[in-house]
Amino acid sequence: MKKAKCPFCGSDVNVGVQPRMGELVRCSECEAELEIVWLNPIELDSPLDSVEDDGYEYEDEDEDEDEYDYEDEDYDYEEDY
C-alpha cells in the first residue's frame, strides 16, 4: 500500500495500491479529508470543495473582457509619438 504525508500533521496517510488524481482520503491522525493532487511523488492537499469561503468573489478573467474601454477619449495619443 502506498503512503503520502498529511500536509497538516505530517503523518503517513494510506492512499491505496493504485492512487488516482482527485481521489479523497482521510488522515487517521488528524481526521483531515485530503485530495490526491499529484501522483509522482504522491501529494495531498485540501479538496477544493471543502475550502472555506474567504468572502471574495472570484471572476472569470475572460468574462468581462469586452466590457471595458481602455482608450481614454480625452487623451491625445498622437502627442506621444
Cα torsion through 8, 9, 10, 12, rounded to 10: -100
Instruction: Judge whether residue 54 has pLDDT over 60.
Output: no
Cell 506621444 belongs to residue: 80
pLDDT at 11 over 90: yes
Domains and CATH numbers, the chain: 1-49 (2.20.28.160)
The predicted pLDDT at position 43 comes to 96
49 versus 12: the higher-pLDDT residue is 12
pLDDT band at 48 (very low <50, low <70, confident <90, very high): confident
State residue 21's pLDDT score. Answer: 95
